[in-house]
Structure 1
Amino acid sequence: MSTVNTMRVISQHVLGEPEVLEVIEVERPEPRANEILIKVHAAGVNPTDWKHRASGGFLGEPPFVLGWDVSGVVEAVGVGVARFKAGDEVFGMLSYPWGHGSHAEYVAAPARAFVLKPAGVDHIQAGALPLVSLTAWQSLVETADVQPGQRVLIHAAAGGVGHVAVQIAKARGAYVIGTASAGKHDFLREIGVDEAIDYRDTDFTEAVKDVDVVLDTLGGDNSVNSLRVLRPGGIVVSILPVGSDDFYEEAERLGVRAVRLLVDADRAGMQAIAELVEAGKLRAAIAGTFPLADAAKAHALGDTGRTAGKLVLVVS
């Protein structure tokens, strides 16, 4: 049991399978200038978490505490923070990738990464949204500038980023095509997909043409193949930040745009997301919730690659 000056976190000392994760006790942080200390109530678990757990990714060798999604209550504010006070319910994303650490009882983070949690949703819902929603918003709105009536193809549309991206594209008035296994097509229709494609038995490059925007959540050959379904001047936004130069070279040959994007914390984007939530246009599908101590079980489920929606750690 943590004391007033300590907190429980999910840490790891080696890279590997979910069982490398363990609950340890560390010193509770104090907010620095322009930071807030948040008592975490819920924190999403994303593919980037289980990939970093296994490979180290951007973070290199452990020990480290994973987690970028946060929903909770402001415990204290640092010098200079004007937007929030103790007791405010907030949600947001820690700076990606270096701001990790939300799979913990408390986290200190820049105040400007956060906005007030919409009153109509609980912490589990709010804790599921930040990373996937900012990824989709920065891809579809800030980068691709999706407009009403445009045709948008979203790969892995039932996944964490995908199912949120569908809702954001629909809120922008787009016609949305989504790929997923057949068993998830009812779910896709529920969240607004206009045309569902079973990637297991259909080649999307033959089934889809004249697309304005593709959100590529898979990378590899999928990035290059996606370029071939675009209309002239269309754009593929890949959320996999590294890959072959073939992606850019093929885009130039075809007269289309190719962009790789890495999500980062952003208050304006979070405010836009909060407004969509408040308007009833955006909601996370919760694939499972786990107490903080069962983080390894959440990772094991995520590793299967078969969940629809988001996994969330419930901290308090």
Structure 2
Amino acid sequence: MKIGIIGIGTVGGGVLELLKKEKKNIEKRVGEKIEVSWICDLKESVNKDSSYRFTKDYEDILKDESVETIIELIGGNTVAFSIAKETLKNGKNLITANKYLLATKGKEIFGLAKENGVKIFFEAAVAGGTPAVSSIYEGTFSGGIKRIRGVLNGTSNYILSKMEEGCSYEAALSLAQSNGYAELDPTFDVKGIDTAHKISLLSYLVWDELVDFEKIKIEGIDKITKEQVEVAKSLGKRFKLIGEAIKIENEIEIYVQPSLLDKEDQLYGVKDAYNGIESYGEHLGETFFYGKGAGALPTANAIISDLYKIKNSNAWN
């Protein structure tokens, strides 16, 4: 399998690292040789290995008929949207960690994949290195899932955990930024937008329907005060930013909001930058997934697992 990687940042670098370190094991599991034919980035400094062809223009990769699969890791939903569309129109498979792109442009992207007979996989888009997406799609589909909910944003969860330890919101955010959990502009994380992207994709995987993003009710954690957290703690409760999707008859409702959880709730114990996802099925009952939601190598591991699915699994689109 010949692949091209567009975007060699933290995660893209992690993908290249794992493909080297675990090459033999990965190829054995996938069932064929994996060759990185191209890497693409705007910075030439990422081109540290002469065995890859390097370009600043992603069109060079898309024109290469020998490349079967594109891994898109640039983020956003503008240039990444163009890359996704051209990838699929060129008959190439797409692997992405870009929840923003899929949650807002997914209907067109999934439609193009079906039209062109190619596959899209996005294990890393929801819970980083935690393999919850495959498990939910491939393992729970006959369980009559009625509800799925989770702590899906490690940044906001880390902030709330630090506030419970006595930090103000501002101090906790500063800690998150200094530890690499939050961007300089943390808007998507603290206002619940990132969580909304992720619960939207989980809902799609469960019910095969992508809800218009504008219809999702979203509230973040940026208005929660230290005093509110202390009161909750005194009552044996804690705040969590919860993304939840519920299907009642034929209607899907999705919302994101800070919620007060008690100790009996499975999501209560999801602390720091970890993620937790809970689903409830009529036939399956409760399932729970827990693990790291970010990090270069955990996320790269999820992306590489999609290479296995390209070769061996049915399409999710």
Q: Same fold (TM over 0.5)?
A: no
* TM-score tier (shorter): 0.3 to 0.5
Q: Using CA pairs below 8 Å that are at least 6 residues apart, which structure has the higher relative contact order?
A: 2
Q: Report the TM-score when normalising by structure 1.
A: 0.33
Comparing both structures, which one devotes a greater share of its residues to helix? 2
Q: Report the TM-score when normalising by structure 2.
A: 0.32
